[in-house]
């Protein structure tokens, strides 16, 4: 859960990650996979396996630990 305020103003939420980008994201996130909340992991996996885009919501981002958000925010938007 979020412990510090986060600025999502640079993102248009819900944020859509194209399916072709999910493979790259998987490689980037592999070292941090254990930190991803189960609900978010399940959504990511479903989109990756189904060949669909992944729609990331504010709730998904809020569920990420601060350390992981700090890594991801430079890659989003």
Per-residue pLDDT at 61: 92
For 65, phi then psi, to 5°, come to -65, 155
For the entire predicted model, the pTM comes to 0.81
Per-residue pLDDT at 3: 60
pLDDT in tens, 23-67: 988 888 888 889 999 999 999 999 999 999 999 999 999 999 988
Per-residue pLDDT at 70: 82
48, 22 contact by CB (below 8 A) = yes
Q: In 3D, which of 34, 31, 30, 26 has the Cα closest to residue 54?
A: 26
């Amino acid at each position: 859960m979020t412990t510090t305020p986060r600025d999502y103003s640079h993102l248009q939420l819900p944020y859509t990650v194209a399916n072709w980008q999910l493979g790259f994201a998987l490689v980037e996130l592999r070292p941090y996979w254990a930190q991803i909340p189960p609900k978010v992991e399940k959504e990511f996996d479903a989109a990756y396996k189904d060949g669909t885009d992944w729609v990331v919501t504010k709730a998904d981002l809020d569920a990420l630990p601060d350390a992981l958000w700090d890594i991801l925010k430079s890659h989003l938007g």
